[in-house]
Structures are given as C-alpha cells and as structure tokens.
Amino acid sequence: MWSPKKVSTGSSATRFLPTPRCCMQREGLYLVDIVEAARKIASYLEGVSPEVWAADSMRRDAVIWQLSIIGEAVGGISDETRASTPEIPWKLIRGLRNNVVHRYFSVDWKIVHSAATVNVPVGAASARSASACPSGSLQAPGARGITRLCRFLRR
C-alpha cells in the first residue's frame, strides 16, 4: 500500500517518498471525527424544537461548526471507502459544508436543522459501519490502534 509521492528538494532534483499505510489510520480518525461531531449535534438538539433552535444563535453556530467538521472529514475519506458505502451521500455532505461555510449569508436554517436531525444520525451510523473492521478497508496489518478505533466507533 505504498505509493510514490513526489517531493521537491529545493533544487532542480525531485525525490519520491513512499506514502505509508498510516493513511488508512488517518481515514479511521476522520470516521471518528464524523461520529463524534454527530454525537455533539445530537446533544445540542436534544429536546429542542426547530423554532427554539432557529432563535438560538449559539446553538446554531455549534451545529454549523460540527457540520463543518463532518464535511471536512468527509474530504479525507478514500475513494475505496466511498465506493464501498454508496448509501452515504458523500458529495451532498461535503456540499452542505461548503454551503454553510462559503454561503453563510444565505443559509436556510430549516434545511440545516433537517440535515442535523435526520441525515446526521443516519450518516454517523453508516460511518460506524464503514469502519467495521473485520473485513473493512481500515484493517491494516501492524496498525495496532485500529482495533481500539473500531471498538470506539461501535459504541
């Protein structure tokens, strides 16, 4: 799973360095970020009506921040994992992040609330299953932290 990575040496010469398997571990960390952000969103919205949420700028900002984390983490998920979990709308998740970050002045709070209360829990469950380690792509030989990561994601 090593592939060459072109690196500038500061001169006209170029070297190639291997890309280590740690990228699979990094992907696992992105999945953890998605699950953790989803848990936080759920805690921010627990027992809160859409009307109360829309009027509470601090709670809205907290949810937007966590949605941004999810969207950013999605950007680090490999093409293989995306292909193996077509039920997750990876592009839409990233698109939501881009809209709330770059088009913050025209955010539709009803859409954000719906995404946070309906789509995020489903996405978090799918992220947990995407990291199901017995046969998943995150099972890397010699990656001792992966087993702990799998246990964490299954909580």
- Enumerate the active-site residues: 97, 102
SS3 state at 149:
helix
Number of other residues whose CB lies within 10 A of the CB of residue 129: 14
How many angstroms from the chain centroid is the CA of residue 20? 21
Residue 85 sits at φ, ψ, to 5 deg, of -130, 65
Residue 48 sits at φ, ψ, to 5 deg, of -110, 125
Contacts of 56 (CB under 8 A, 6+ apart): 48
Task: Please choose, from the candidates 98, 78, 106, the residue with its C-alpha nearest in 3D space to the C-alpha of residue 19.
Answer: 78
> What is the distance between the terminal CA atoms of the chain, rounded to a whole angstrom?
29
User: What does the block give as tokens for 57?
Assistant: 């700028």
